[in-house]
Amino acid sequence: MTKALPGTLIVFEGIDGTGKSTQIELLGEYLLENGHEVVVTREPTDGPYGQKIRQLYMNRDLASKTEELELFLADRREHVNTLLLPALQAGKIVLCDRYYLSTAAYQGANGFDPIEILRLNDFAPEPDIAFIFEVSVETSLHRITKGRGDLLNDFEQAESLKKVKKIFSELDLPFIYRINAERNIDEIHANLLSVIDTVIAHPLADPLEQL
């Protein structure tokens, strides 16, 4: 789906452990402070399809590869219809933690053609900005296990993440901005602001001053 909506869709992509969640929170606060209406969301969602996907984190063998892909597509279709489109039609800024580039990368690493997966997502609004956070697989695993103290789930195994990272690196779309996420939090936040300030006008300016 091409861009034809008054709102702005900013998505955050990359392998696990890149610090996306921290940056979404910081960016959301910044945008709210500057007078924007902001919706923060994520995929998989907390809906029925998203809950089934989360069950696969601990046991990916619960579904076939085709069933797994179909769950991601069904979850996204519901997300688009119930939240993303209404918010964008209302002119809001939507910050989404993972979107269809993640499906292309993770399901591509699972044996599907990433380009075909992008085609299957034609129903979804095209992002205005897709930040792909880039870190090494070693950094990713360290942040997951040491930084967060989590066990690796079935989507976070090293060999799989290497394939996912490679596919992310090969994606070439005009709305993609690559972010060096090995840097500290403040540097990354400043990098994001430098990009979004070229896309989003600030509504706090007095319109009378422009007359």
The Cα–Cα gap between 46 and 205 comes to 37
pLDDT digits (tens, 9 = 90+) for 49-108: 999 999 988 888 899 999 999 999 999 999 999 999 999 999 999 999 999 999 999 999
Position 152 scores a pLDDT of: 60
Confidence of residue 137 (pLDDT cuts 50, 70, 90): confident
Give the pLDDT of residue 203. Answer: 52
Q: What is the pLDDT of residue 39?
A: 98
129 band by pLDDT with thresholds 50, 70 and 90: very high
Torsion angle of C-alpha atoms 134, 27, 73, 58, degrees rounded to 10: 70
Q: How many CA atoms does the CB half-sphere of 31 hold within 13 Å? A: 25
Nearest to 131 by CA among 53, 20, 8, 45: 20
d(CA 202, CA 193): 12
CATH topology of domain 8-198: Rossmann fold (3.40.50)
- pLDDT digits 0-9 by tens, 69-85: 999 999 999 999 999 99
Give the model confidence (pLDDT) of 168-206 as tens digits.
Answer: 999 999 999 999 999 999 999 999 999 998 888 665 444
Domain ranges of the chain: 8-198
pLDDT for the residue numbered 151: 55
> 134 forms bridges with which residues in the sheet?
180
**Would you say residue 132 has pLDDT above 80?**
yes
